[in-house]
Structure 1
Amino acid sequence: MKKTQMFQLLLQEPGSFILPGAYDSMSARLIEETGFKAIYATGAGISNAQLGWADVGLTTMKEVADVVARMNDVTTVPIIVDADTGFGNAINVMRTVRELERAGAAAIQIEDQVSPKKCGHFSGKAVISQEEMVGKIKAALDTRLDENLAIIARTDAIAVNGMNDAIERAHAYKEAGSDVIFIEAPTTFEHLKQITSSVKGIPHIINLVEGGKTPLVSLEEVEELGFKIMLCANTILRTAIKGITESLKVLKKEGSQENLHDLICTWEERQNLFKLKQVKELEKEYLNSL
């Protein structure tokens, strides 16, 4: 089954699901091997991990596509790709969809911020017109080769124009043909209820950012509120930063690895994750004849 079909089936299954964010092939593989049903290729995480800079629209479409292709190569579950603004206008969106579809995306998320964009939980955002975003959505839908490739429409209008405009945009984006609606950065529990009660008949994403603008809720609460996808876009990136920092502090302070064992995976865990056994089997099959 194609990954695009797998994601469409996920959207149709009863209940809500957690969508963790990956920023490289290693994190993508860890997400799948921990048992999650899909992977989110996080734009912020890719910018942080690959460029070493904040999520302020510095990554290029090709950089994101390259990371997604490598994630796709080592995983078997659907990958949902954060494509920021589509990297330009509706014509740019067409190329973005072609490139990300070739890279293995099962779904592509496009937002209505101006370019260059900012992280959805940063201040100082601005949005394009509703009409321009509708054009981007239609361009994406018309460009995809696989009709099961999902198009996710995100609006950042709450922070700019308020909830009423965000709801109006969500209705317009649904009408344009989006498969999933993503209203970014609601700030209250009442906002969360309003989103799903106002825009019905389509799956919704809730983006939960530790320390961000949206109140943190559990998967059970997410389901009760009517959201389909509980996005945890950069949770594992931030745990990795914390773990790396703590291990470096120990190494610098003590000048020894003796007390690092509780902070690192075992040798065996590392080699199992990166499929050393499978590589050796391939070597045995294909190299012994040389």
Structure 2
Amino acid sequence: MAFRSRRETLRSILSGSACIHPGSVYDAISIRIAEDLGFPLGMFGGSAASLAVLGDADVALITLTELAEQMRRMSRAATLPVLVDADHGYGNALNVRRTVQELETAGAAGLTIEDTLLPAAFGETKAQLISLEEGVGKMKAALDGRSDPSLVIMGRTGAASITSLDDAICRAQAYEAAGVDALFFTGIKSRAELDAIAAATRLPVVLGGAPEELNVLDYLAARRVRIALQGHAPIAAATQAVYDTLKALREGTSPKALKGLASAELTSRVMREADVKARSADVLGLKK
């Protein structure tokens, strides 16, 4: 299977003894840069997807089709394995099953399914969770939806910051029993909370952001944390760079006087120009 090696790489990270930081990716350029810089894994976050594809906030507006198509573009552009934030699976458990099928076909190495109630309920300003029973049903549907057993399915919960740590542990244990490959937590606030999670569960752990006291790789690795996210700074940096460049041009700056632009060498490398020229020579008879 074309994407199996990428999924096996992710599985080797989860079965290893170290904790790694993935590179936040959201399009063909960012994933190629992350791959060239040596990141072992890419993370395609929901907020980055919404901003890159729609220019909208992360409020469950992006569709499964749009997410999968963006993943497909990245899969074509690079071989870096990517973990995809699949939100709530775009509906009920049956929708989750289809979400897994689409993202598997699009080349994802793994994906997360969360138990947050999405879209937000009418009149509610705070995040809510679906029931434990529905969450377990979604995990079972996700596992049933994959045709490649090497595709990684992660059960994700934000219960620690929405209900309680005890609820987060209860949900994690239920998702673990359902058969997911790893557990993804958001909202963990302290070492004591992570210690409790590590003691109560068995699977590899992924953290979706954490306070500074937790950001020590050796400590995280000893608590079975294998992947620790660092937010989505690349798309924020790209947004600022585009804004600054367009603002300067609008205010009359000469293109030749612009600062911070990618060099011709970097642009050529990112677009794989040398590979294109070699193929053109081989199949079009053009000079290298």
Q: Normalization by structure 2: what TM-score?
A: 0.90
CA gap of 1:159–1:269, structure 2 versus 1, over 3 A, is: same
1:114 is aligned with what amino acid? Answer: L
TM-superposed deviation, 1:117: 5.6
Cα distance change of structure 1 residues 250 and 256 upon mapping to structure 2, 3 Å threshold: same
Deviation per residue, 1:67-109 (Å, 9 max, x gap): 0111111111211111110111111111111111111111111
What pairs with 1:69-148 in structure 2 (closer than 5 Å)?
A: 69-116=72-119, 124-148=126-150
User: 1:232 deviation in Å?
Assistant: 2.5
CA deviation profile, 1:96-125 (whole Å, cap 9, x unmatched): 11111111111111000112169xxxx711
Relative to 1, partners in 2 of residues 1:249 and 1:92: Cα closer, same or farther, differing over 3 Å?
Answer: same
SS at match of 1:2: helix
Q: Hey, what does 2:244 align to over in structure 1?
A: 246
Q: How does 1:252-267 map to 2 (within 5 A)?
A: 252-253=250-251, 255-261=253-259, 263-267=260-264
Cα deviations across residues 182-209 of structure 1 (Å, max 9, x unaligned)?
121123343233322332x21111122x
Q: Which residue of 1 aligns with 2:203?
A: 202
**Cα 1:259/1:222, change in 2 over 3 Å:** farther
| Alignment of structure 1 residues 277-288 onto 2, 5 Å | 277-288=274-285
Aligned equivalent of 1:51, options 51, 54, 64: 54
**Contact kept in structure 1, 2:17 and 2:221, CA below 8 Å:** no
**Structure 1 match to 2:173:** 171
Cα displacement (A) at 1:139: 1.1
Q: What displacement does 1:166 show? A: 0.7
Report deviation, 1:224: 4.6
Q: Distance in 2 between matches of 1:146 and 1:222?
A: 29
Distance 1:246 1:202 in 2: 44
Identity fraction in percent:
34
Residue by residue over 1:32-55, the C-alpha shift from the partner in whole angstroms, topping out at 9 and shown as x without a partner, is 111011111211101011101110
Separation in 2 of the partners of 1:95 and 1:74? 24
Q: Is the 8 A contact 2:18 2:218 kept in 1?
A: no
In the alignment, residue 105 of structure 2 is paired with which amino acid?
R
SS at match of 1:17: coil
Cα offsets for 1:10-62 (capped at 9, x unmatched): 21222111112211111111111110111112111010111011101001001
Q: Is the 8 A contact 2:51 2:58 kept in 1?
A: yes
Distance in 2, Cα, partners of 1:87 & 1:80: 17
Does the CA contact (< 8 Å) of 1:250 and 1:259 recur in 2? no
Q: 1:189·1:215 contact (CA, 8 Å) conserved in 2?
A: no
Amino acid at match of 2:52: A
C-alpha spacing 1:284/1:196, structure 2 compared with 1 (3 Å): same
Over aligned residues, Cα RMSD in angstroms? Answer: 2.0
- Between the aligned partners of 1:19 and 1:146, the Cα distance in structure 2 is 23
Residues in 1 aligned to 2:216 and 2:76: alpha-carbon distance in whole angstroms:
31
* Equivalent in the alignment of 1:235: 233
Which 5+ residue runs of structure 2 have no aligned equivalent? none
Q: Give me the TM-score of the superposition, normalised by structure 1.
A: 0.89
Q: Give secondary structure in 2 for the equivalent of 1:247.
A: helix
Aligned mates of 2:35, 2:220 — CA distance in 1: 22
CA distance in 2, matches of 1:138, 1:234: 29
Going from structure 1 to structure 2, the CA distance change for 1:259 and 1:105 (only over 3 Å counts) comes to: same
Structure 2 counterpart SS, 1:170:
helix
Q: Which amino acid aligns with 2:169?
A: I
Q: Is the 8 A contact 2:83 2:110 kept in 1?
A: yes
* Structure 2 counterpart SS, 1:40: strand
Task: Give CA-to-partner distance per residue, 1:162-196, whole Å, 9 cap, x none.
Answer: 11101110111111111110121123343233322
Residue 279 of structure 1 aligns with an amino acid whose one-letter code is V
Alignment of 1:25-44 (within 5 A): 25-44=28-47
| 1:271 Cα deviation after fit | 1.2
Work out the CA distance in 2 between the residues paired with 1:5 and 1:101.
13
Residue 223 of structure 1 deviates from its aligned partner by 2.7
Letter in 2 for 1:6: T
- Measure, in 2, the Cα distance between the counterparts of 1:193 and 1:244: 42
Contact 2:206 2:225 in 1 (8 A): yes
Give the match's secondary structure for 1:66.
helix
Structure 1 unaligned spans of 5+: 209-213
